[in-house]
Chains A and B, each alone.
Chain A
């Protein structure tokens, strides 16, 4: 047991020279331009430093600025890439980005609250109200459909760049947050004791150009290989799925414009999903083996389109065979679809073409950090967890983190606590960790359950799925859960 008085310097809260008022003082943002070469420590003291300018980092910055409680905190955001790409985004109606996320009504509600959703280009966002998910081996399926009178949305398909653009516009409107882009984090260390200002427990981020930012709270929104997480010494555990996600933007046959449906088929190599975008565009996410992913990227556009149509319609044996063919896939598809019984109501509209240069792939992983917090540090989004994309929950989990973290910070500010102490951050971790762990676990088990064509397993999972599909009560419970109702 350490004597209690020894604890005082450890929880050191910096006492600024003029801090006569409360124990907690927000570092006010000064509109006077600063020179970054200054050695003045105070100039580079921030309440919150966010590393990473992706959707999670930007929504945290936006919500910090938009909340009346936290708006007096001094916020900086560091991003390695050029934020102007998102800021000056000029969309064309003829093409859509292949990086699209599905935002649940819960996430959109939060984005509306922080004022970012009104800056998102709504004509490029596609809501969908129905979902069809089926077993690629047995064909048993589950259908989610909100009835017409209660036409709630399951999710909103939004280009990531559209969301980033909306968040940046909102940040600009709010002002106050310091966005430092095209700048890399060179290193993170703890601060020094400056006599009157003890920064020994404060993380100090050194960025390109030698400038050092000291943070009362350092937030890692810096992706799966988070440097902040490494500095915090938090282990991230999990495994690689040995699968790649192939994404592409495609154009389909005309779809009924009112009711939009998302389709997902579980093949033994991984699920394939087609999610609606405005007009007759759709976004494809196909999780498959690295070999098939490489093969898909080599195919001619005609054969790629035939392969996608096959993947939703033909037997998994046909798909496995055709994925190894080097050409003539579209003729093979013509023959096979003529002898395969297809229920046209249960499959997406025929894909007609694939948008040029939109085919890309990335490896799929499952990771979960042991903790989201440590003294003066917190992790949000992919830095804390990476999930298989089959449930489309990756970005929603990140936004859920931000939502929870901002609530935690508001409470800390209101009760006069130090926002960086583990004591204040504890509720963020306890709120989010188990929620995310459950989601990651369920998605992981689904991936494994459907990753086989072994007949007894197929029989049992098909019975189960059919039973769940018959139970309207259970289904609406699942849907409410998935929609992230608040």
Chain B
């Protein structure tokens, strides 16, 4: 009965013939042998299956070895489309400052930012804090890799910008570059930017010690989620123009609370343990 009604409809509308044609080209518009030319310098166009493979592969290896920053970056790019990177770009397009950033497309590296000048800024300013972080952690703004797997040039820039601003987020929140601090910051970034990679980074919780994990879940996650959602989009901060701004003032302007000082907590705990140990040792003797 059903087929009596449906069959002529299917035949007349060409459902079976035409439908696969509608979706196949989008899924894999080319093969690895006929890759189209890049949309921007360094761009590598990928098909959907390739992108999926890249995402899975980079996720597994970077979980095993969190020091593979290149793979974390690749994971970020492979999972940012569809939707998420466009959403972030649209968030920038809705803000006057965000639009200015997209128009100027400023890059952060050691040639565009003079570290010497930053070191001369007064204490408590964004620039000074930033350079203090770089010095303390022994990293340089040039360690950020180039975006390659995002097709739209403007969205690729947004990803690049997010990546280059990451150190400023450390300066803004005061979270250190150790796995624990990184996980807390990533949770904040996920709530604020919705980039899937930052959410996937939560798997790194598995690598923490039980005590650290408890601290992350009870102390830092509530802070990260609350602040990530209530604060303005941090991607819309024109850092180059805020170098001389007071960090406290900038936090207030975007509606961000300072998280508990992780270094201090860890140092205190360490001192406490050491004290306990000495007490224990003295008792034993």
Contacts and interface: CB of A to CB of B under 8 A. Distances in A.
Nearest to A325: B96
A467 B17 CA distance: 11
Contacts of A455: 83
B83 A474 contact: no
A471 B19 CA distance: 7
B15 interface: yes
Contacts of B19: 467, 470-471
Interface string A400-426: 000000000000000000000000000
Contacts of B18: 470-473
B201 to A, nearest CB: 23
B101 to A, nearest CB: 13
Nearest to B83: A455
A341 B86 CA distance: 13
A321 B90 CA distance: 10
Interface in B89-112: 90, 93-94, 99, 102-103
Contacts of B233: none
Q: Which of A318, A469, A470, A477 is the most central at the interface, judged by chain B CB atoms within 10 Å of its CB?
A: A470
Interface string B14-29: 1100110111000000
Given A317-B90, A317-B94, 19 more contacts: A315-B90, A315-B93, A318-B93, A321-B93, A335-B103, A339-B102, A339-B154, A341-B152, A466-B23, A467-B22, A470-B22, A471-B13, A471-B14, A471-B18, A471-B19, A472-B14, A472-B18, A473-B14, A474-B14
Contacts of A317: 90, 93-94
A333 B19 CA distance: 37
B285 interface: no
A474 B18 CA distance: 10
Interface string A290-304: 000000000000000
Interface residues of B: mostly helix, strand, loop or mixed?
Answer: helix
13 contacts: A315-B93, A317-B94, A318-B93, A321-B93, A335-B103, A339-B154, A341-B152, A469-B22, A470-B19, A470-B21, A471-B13, A472-B14, A477-B12
A318 B93 CA distance: 6
Contacts of A449: none
B19 to A, nearest CB: 6
A477 B102 CA distance: 45
A66 to B, nearest CB: 38
B66 interface: no
Contacts of A341: 152
Contacts of A471: 13-15, 18-19
B90 to A, nearest CB: 4
Contacts of A318: 93
A320 B22 contact: no
B226 to A, nearest CB: 24
A320 B94 contact: yes
Nearest to A469: B22
Interface of B: 12-15, 18-19, 21-23, 83, 90, 93-94, 99, 102-103, 152-154
Nearest to A314: B93
Chain A to chain B: the 5 pairs with minimum beta-carbon distance, closest first:
A470-B22, A474-B13, A473-B14, A470-B18, A317-B90
Contacts of B102: 339
In this complex, the interface size class of chain A, counting residues with CB under 8 Å from chain B, is 10 to 19
Interface string A310-323: 00000101101100
A339 B153 contact: yes
Interface in A430-486: 455, 466-467, 469-474, 477
A318 B22 CA distance: 28
Nearest to A332: B99
B103 to A, nearest CB: 6
A317 B87 CA distance: 10
Contacts of A315: 90, 93
Contacts of B154: 339-340
A321 B94 contact: yes
B23 A321 contact: no
A340 B93 CA distance: 12
Nearest to B154: A339
A468 to B, nearest CB: 9
Nearest to A455: B83
Contact of A473 (B12, B90, B93, B103): B12
A483 to B, nearest CB: 18
A335 B22 CA distance: 33
Contacts of B94: 317, 320-321
Contacts of A469: 22
Contacts of B93: 315, 317-318, 321
Contacts of A320: 94
A381 to B, nearest CB: 34
A321 B13 contact: no
Interface in A315-347: 315, 317-318, 320-321, 335, 339-341
A471 to B, nearest CB: 5
Contacts of A467: 19, 22
A420 to B, nearest CB: 43
A320 B91 CA distance: 12
Nearest to B20: A470
Nearest to A470: B22
Nearest to B86: A315
Interface in A328-381: 335, 339-341
A477 B15 CA distance: 13
Q: Which of A455, A467, A471 is the most central at the interface, judged by chain B CB atoms within 10 Å of its CB?
A: A471
Contacts of B12: 473-474, 477
Nearest to A465: B22
A470 B93 CA distance: 33
Contacts of A474: 12-15
